[in-house]
Amino acid sequence: MFDSATAQNFKTKIKSNMALRDLPSVDGKIIRQLTRGTKVSIIGKEYIYYKVDINGQIGFVMEDAITITPEMSDFVLAEKEKEKQLELERNKELEEKIKQNLIAEYGEMDGKRIYAKKVWIGMNKNMAMESWGYPTDINKTETAYGISEQWVYDKGNYNYKYLYFENNKLVTIQY
């Protein structure tokens, strides 16, 4: 995420035919088609799009279409590192929202256990689904005493975990 103040107006070329768009998105209107070798000045960057100036015409092209010159390489690496940090921060915020939603729905103790991917005797099927996700298979048995379910989780290499429910309550955990 750099702008004209920090971009240093790098000069480069388009390395493949590409659309110049009015917005940094595939939804942006195509201003014109650029051909390989078109000279551009980099004046900004937004996610995977470079903001470029082509003889006074400003638009956006995907980063893969830009030839990275030796003068740009250190700057581009620094920008990619900034983008990684922003993504990590966004993921951290998202994870915290997920955790807080679980706490709001199931209470402090159970919400934290579900967020930590724990299961325990007495939890209901919704809680188990939030914790371990959808099972690979569900086997149901109906008896005079109610409905029993075996939830099968395939961990790969013939390694399975099982949860057993009776009338919506977890009664057995098998690793």
Please tell me the pTM assigned to this model. 0.61
- Inform me whether the pLDDT recorded for 145 exceeds 70: yes
- pLDDT grade for 5, boundaries at 50, 70 and 90: very low
pLDDT at 155: 81
Which CATH superfamily does the domain covering 10-67 fall into?
Answer: SH3 Domains (2.30.30.40)
Domain boundaries, the chain: 10-67, 117-174
Cβ neighbours for 100, distance < 8 A, ≥ 6 positions apart? none
- pLDDT grade for 1, boundaries at 50, 70 and 90: very low
Domain spanning 117-174: which CATH class is it, in words? alpha beta
- Closest by Cα among 175, 129, 125 to 148: 125
